[in-house]
Amino acid sequence: MRPFTYERSTDAQAAVAAVSRGGAKFISGGTNLLDLMKLGIERPSHLVDISRLPLRDIEELPDGGLRIGAQAANSDVAADARVRTRYPVLSQALVSGASGQLRNKASTGGNLLQRTRCPYFYDTAADCNKRNPGTGCSAIGGFNRIHAILGAGDSCIATHPSDMAVAMTALDAGIELLDVDASVRRVAITDFYRLPGDTPDIETVLRTGEMITGVILPPPPPGRQLYRKVRDRASYEFALVSVAAVVATDQGTISAARVAFGGVAHKPWRSLDAEAVLAGRPATSATYRDAAEAALRDAVGQGDNDFKIELAKRTLCRTLAQAARSS
């Protein structure tokens, strides 16, 4: 047991100031952080409990979008009538993301910041650049069935585990951040996560002490929204491949489309290449396959996960076909 101190914050600015000091971390639902602390992967000397901050509301915005507070529980977001009606891809992703008990506890901000479930990251005896920079990556050349096929490199092939973040990526969400100087900035979710490069231990663009206070959803895009998750079992499990798609059609032609993948990269993977192929094309299986080929053009398998390349293509085709039929 490693000793640490604890405080419960009721003021957002005070919480940010407390975490700006060395060795401190935020704790909200704790559904990931507590596991990491038990294994000795995360070793904070001080925890700042932000679970009681007044950031649970889901609010209407003047432009027709929504603001989801960072402390809103995943279960509350998934069940909200406005989310289910206007952003069904998000509700579907949340419901597929965890057990009911975890959804009741997990917060929106915490979900965005959960860490990879790579088994080598969790095994402190293994080499892992994400956990211990400069030691290597045991997943490369190891058992890498669940690992990345896009955006990876020689330093890390871990994947991001969030389902919610994949749906939010397809919805062009913005993440609202509070800094120690009381300034607020908004970062597009596509810019929030970093690819591994030479620093896989640095996963986001968060500055020291910065705290997520909310997520901004723009007005819902036209078309049918759909989330499909492929996993090893139907019950609570992380994705091998997931797809969030938004497809709008006009007399059999795709007028607009958005595509994001989960389970294939170090971050939720928005495929602008697939979207470019789909726009203005007939809603046919040939179009979907062309989009899938474009989306996975740069995919690289690591041996055990080679199957994920074709799986991702087929998952995208199936999702696009279903979404187009109903749009």
Closest CA to 322 of 258, 226, 248, 244: 226
Q: Is 53:15 a contact under the CB 8 Å cutoff?
A: yes
Query: Across the chain, what does the average pLDDT equal?
Result: 96
254 and 147 Cβ atoms separated by less than 8 Å? no
How far, rounded to the nearest angstrom, does the alpha carbon of residue 300 sit from its chain's CA centroid?
21
3-state DSSP assignment of residue 326: helix
The pLDDT of residue 99: 87
Q: How many helices (H) and strands (E) does the chain have?
A: 13, 12
Instruction: Judge whether residue 327 has pLDDT over 90.
Output: no
Residue 322: is its pLDDT beyond 90? yes
Query: Does the pLDDT value for residue 78 go beyond 80?
Result: yes
The CA-based diameter of the chain, rounded to the nearest angstrom, is 64
Instruction: Give the C-alpha separation, 61 to 218, whole Å.
Output: 9
Residue 98 has a pLDDT of 85
pLDDT, tens digit, 9 for 90 and up, residues 172-202 = 999 999 999 999 999 999 999 999 999 999 9
298 contacts 272 by C-beta, under 8 angstroms: no
Alpha carbon distance 193, 121 (integer Å): 18
The pLDDT of residue 100: 87
User: Residue 234's pLDDT is what?
Assistant: 84
In terms of Cα–Cα distance, which of 90, 67, 65 is closest to 79?
90
Evaluated on CA atoms 84, 308, 310, 255, the torsion sign reads positive
In whole angstroms, give the CA distance from residue 16 to residue 109. 14
Per-residue model confidence (pLDDT) at position 70: 98
The pLDDT of 19-46, averaged and rounded, is 94
Identity at 204, one-letter amino acid code: T
Sign of CA dihedral 125, 127, 133, 135: positive
Q: What DSSP character marks residue 57?
A: -
Determine which helix (DSSP H) or strand (DSSP E) holds 230, and give its type and residue range: strand 224-230
pLDDT at 133 (0 to 100): 97
61: tokens are 């915005």
User: What are the tens digits of pLDDT across the range 234-293?
Assistant: 888 999 999 999 999 999 999 999 999 999 999 999 999 999 999 999 999 999 999 999
CA-based R_g, the chain, Å? 20
Band of residue 44 on the pLDDT scale cut at 50, 70, 90? very high
Residue 326 pLDDT > 80, yes or no?
no
Is residue 50 within 8 A of residue 213, CB to CB? The reply is: no
